[in-house]
Every structure is written in C-alpha cells, then in structure tokens.
Amino acid sequence: MQKIRFFNIEFLRIVMIFGIVMHHAFANRTWSLCNMFPDVSLYAFLKKAFWFANNGVEGFFIIAGLFFVLTFNSNLSFLGFFAKKYIRLAPVILFATFLCYLSSFWGLINFNLLNNVLTVLLLNNFIIRWSNGSVGSVWYVSALIAGFAFYYCVKKYVKNPRYYYVILFLLTFFGYLMLEVLKHGNYGGPGRNFGVLNIGMMRCIGGLGLGIIIGEFFKNKISIYRDICFGKIAVTFVSLIELVLLVGIVWWIFVPHLKYNNIVFVIVFSLLLILFILNKGVVSNFFNKNIYSILSKYVYSIFVTHTLVYKLFSYHFWSNYKDIVNVYNWLPVVVNFLLVIILGVFTYHFVEKPCAQYFKERAKSLVAVRERERERE
C-alpha cells in the first residue's frame, strides 16, 4: 500500500485549505476584513466568492475516512488508537492556544481558561458542543477524533462483514440525513446543537463514513485497478469527467454562486476522489506529483492556526491604517495570507514535526524495553 502514490489527493487538500483560509478571512466575524471595511467592494466580492469554501471540511472528513481504512491497524487497542490520534493532533492545538493565552495579556483576545482547557483536550466539540475556545477551527479536530474513535470500534469489533457494511451505510446516511432535516442541506454552524445532535458531528459521521466506504471498496485492490490499461478513447472520456468534476469543485469553492444543497459538493468531491484514486485520466495524473505531498504537509498546522492571524494581527493592525486599506484594498489580503502561510510553516517545523518525531521515538523505545523484558522472562 505504501508504494501507491496519492499525491493528487494531497493536491485536493491544498485546494481546500486555501478556500477555508480565504473563507474565514471574509466570514461574518468582527475580525474579518469585510466587517472591518464594509464599504470596500473587493472585500464584499471575496466574501461572496468564498462563502461556500467552508465545504472543504467535507472533503477533509472524506479523505480522513479513506486513509483511516488504508492505514488501519487492528493490533492497536482502543486506548492505544485514541492516544495515538490525540498525540498526533494535540500539540499544534496546544501551541495555538498558548499564543492566544499570551495575547490575552496585551488585551488582544479574551481568554477563558476552562473553554480552552476543554479545547486542548479535544473535548470542545466531542459528540456535542461543550465549549467555544479561542481557536475556533478546532471544532473540526474535536469532532474528527470522536468520529475516529467511534468508527474504530465499529471496524474492530463488528466481525460480520455484512453487519459491518450495513452499519457503515446506515451511519453515513444518518449523518447526511440529519444535516438535511436540521439544516436543510446547509452545513454551516458546526457548533450548533439540536439536543444531542451537533452539526459538526453530523458532518463528521457522514463524511468519515463515506470515506471509509470508499476506502473499503478500494482496499487491497488499488494496484489491480491501476494496472488495467485504458485505450485512448477511455482515457479521454475519464479525463473529461475528471476535468468537469474538478472545475465543479473549484467553482464551488472560489466562485460566487447561488445557494445549493451542500450534498451536491459531497457527491461531486467523492466522485472526483474515486477517479483520483484510480489515476487513469490526464487530470488525475497531472496532479499526481510529489510537489503536492511536500506542500500538503503544512495543511494541518495552517488549518489550526490561520484564524489567529485574523484575530491577533489583522483586526488590531489594519484598523489603525484605514487610509492605506482604502487605497490599497489588495494589501491586507496579501499580507494576511502570507502571514497565515508563515505561521503555519513555522508551526509545522517547530511544533508539529518535532512533537511527532519525539513521540515516535518514545514509542519505539517503549517497544524495545518491553521486548527486552520479554527476553529476560
């Protein structure tokens, strides 16, 4: 499985994180540029253009479900699996929360200790919305780890394949059905609770489940499908479908359009993902380059930290230079985006990567110690 390249899927992750970063830059928040400068037409246009870019999160959930299956290790206990995921995800969130804590001393942000402790523990959006920490995007990570834990139990302990797939389909259907019933196909407001049903968790249950279904279909068969030779006509036809689907995704994320049911994005993205896994068309092959894997390693750090640039810098800086902003409308957009990338890259190299390496080495050393103890016995 490790020999199969999924660089084109990493390309999709880059497209989605760009859309999410721009979406939050112009969302309905006090610190967004469109609310700080309501008379700037450029910001009003960008707000409309990236209004539905938050649906990139659906893509993240589906991709997470796919790789959950492809990398599943049945030898891990539930606690081992949960601890591994938490150790992988928590350090970046802890760092981002620490930045918010430091900023509170200068009055740049209101810092609630209990809410942020729950956020660092990834309990803020665990099943239902418990709190709202200073790092807003972490709702996704909290829902993700809860979804991982839930689907891990399903995959590990449901031994009958028939029951397993029935449960997968029912859970996926339930997640998206509730989004339709409660939100009429609008996946916004991930922190909103309807009793015990949380919108963010419904997005997670549906997206992870769909990704797992796709992963189960392709598991141990990807190399077989990729070895099938297509003729020129078939390649042309598949390439055309890939292009149409990719244009549809890009259009949805970057172009102003009418309000459509968000399940349309889920369907289009899932079909494109399947074609990118098969890698039979010109489009999927064109983006199946290592460069996208190199760039996408920063996606998680950027996702967690990007709103801090808007909250801690943009809101308090650009409001003091209104004359410059009114003349050079593009300047705050470019500067904010560059700072988002710089902070994300910094976080990856000095927090995410070192912590991952440290805990990996610690795990290896613990295994080695246990093996030596067994040999002595």
The pLDDT tens digits of the residues spanning 9-46 come to 999 999 999 999 999 999 888 889 999 999 999 999 99
Structure-block tokens of residue 105: 């001393």
Going by the DSSP 8-state scheme, the letter that residue 229 receives in this structure is P
Instruction: Give the bridge partners for 193, in sequence order.
Output: 198
Q: Stretch 268-290: mean pLDDT, rounded?
A: 96
Judge whether 160 and 184 are in contact, CB under 8 Å. no
The pLDDT tens digits of the residues spanning 241-271 come to 999 999 999 999 999 988 899 999 999 999 9
Going by the DSSP 8-state scheme, the letter that residue 76 receives in this structure is S
Which are the contacts of 168, defined by CB distance < 8 A and separation ≥ 6?
154, 209, 212, 213, 216
**Residue 371 pLDDT more than 90?**
no
Helix, coil or strand: residue 220: coil
Give which of 59, 99, 39 is closest to 347, Cα–Cα: 99
The pLDDT tens digits of the residues spanning 89-146 come to 999 999 999 999 999 998 888 899 999 999 999 999 999 998 888 998 899 999 999 9
363 vs 255, higher pLDDT = 255
The pLDDT tens digits of the residues spanning 37-95 come to 999 999 999 999 999 999 999 999 999 999 999 999 988 899 999 999 999 999 999 99
Give which of 322, 339, 318, 312 is closest to 106, Cα–Cα: 312
Structure-block tokens of residue 212: 């797992």
> What is the pLDDT, as a whole number, of residue 1?
39
> What is the pLDDT, as a whole number, of residue 2?
42
